[in-house]
Amino acid sequence: MSIIVHHLEESRSQRILWLMEELGIAYDVKRYERNPQTRLAPPELKEIHPLGKSPVIEANGKVLAESAAIIEYLAENEAFGGLAVPAGDPARFDYLYWLHFAEGSAMLPLLLKLYVSMLGENGAPLMQMRIDPEINNHFSFINAHLEGRDYFVADRFTAADIQMSFVLDAGNNRGGLDRYPNMVRVRKLQQARPAYQKALEKGGPYKMGG
């Protein structure tokens, strides 16, 4: 299966490159740079998908967007499903939960923090009353789950770890992750994986991985 990953710098698509390296399958990368003023994706991405966002992959003549959908599809259909948790496995429940928790719950307050911070002092009340407490709510939950664990699911590395990696990166990038030691520890373990390092080489600069 020939796969093209449409990769936008400093974005969620970095974890798709990591997934591809973990799966050990051939793929091509088409890189896109953000507008230096607006930090938005370039209009060329709309030629691939109408929403003009990344990650997007092309596989078998079809276009697939959304991180969780891409990761779930590839993890189940490549490398003999070794990064997925199959139906019937007791860990499947937790696997699907963390695979979708990343974007369904955890990223919303982090995005709100990014946007509201642009308002300066005008956004401070909302930040203090709602956004920061909600981030703490989610991060405390994640941190507690990772107590005594190196992985999110099934005591082994799965695609759910790749999906959750961007939450850890975004949390670190926006400050405060050091208050959640289990998240910090697991993030370091992720970054030490050879496939993670290879994905950085393929994708180019990724400041959020610092």
For the stretch 7-56, pLDDT in tens is 999 999 999 999 999 999 999 999 999 998 888 999 999 999 999 999 99
β partners of residue 5: 29, 57
How high is the pLDDT of residue 205? Answer: 84
**In the 8-state DSSP scheme, what is residue 45?**
G
Q: Are residues 203 and 156 part of one domain?
A: no
Give yes or no: residues 120 and 169 share one domain: yes
| 194 or 208: which leads in pLDDT | 194
pLDDT value at position 172?
94
Distance of alpha carbon 104 from alpha carbon 115, whole angstroms: 18
Same domain for 99 and 190, yes or no, is yes
Q: Does residue 47 sit in the same domain as residue 70?
A: yes
Residue percentage of the chain with pLDDT more than 90: 90
- Whether 210 shows a pLDDT value over 80: the answer reads no
Number of structural domains found in the chain: 2
pTM: 0.95
| Judgement on whether residues 114 and 144 belong to the same structural domain of the protein | yes
Q: Which of 20, 1, 128, 126 is nearest to 70 (CA)?
A: 20
Question: Is there a single domain that holds both residue 98 and residue 185?
Answer: yes
The verdict on 60 and 109 lying in the same domain is no
Residue 33 and residue 22 share a domain: yes
For residue 1, what pLDDT band results from cuts at 50, 70 and 90? low
70 shares its domain with 146: no
Give the per-residue pLDDT at 176: 87
Once rounded to an integer, what is the mean pLDDT over residues 69-80? 96
Tokens of 163: 């999906």
* 32 shares its domain with 45: yes
Closest CA to 106 of 134, 67, 86, 87: 134
The pLDDT mean for the chain works out to 95
174 band by pLDDT with thresholds 50, 70 and 90: confident
**Region for residue 120 given its phi and psi (left: phi exceeds 0; alpha: psi -120 to 50; beta: otherwise):** left
- Residue 47 sits in a domain of what CATH number? 3.40.30.10
* Enclosing H/E stretch for 56: strand 56-59
Query: Residue 198 in 3-state DSSP?
Result: helix
Q: Which CATH number does the domain housing residue 114 bear?
A: 1.20.1050.10
Domain range enclosing 200: 3-83+195-209
As given in the structure block, the two tokens for residue 57 are 């992959």
Please tell me whether residues 117 and 189 are part of one structural domain. yes
Are 187 and 201 part of one and the same domain? no
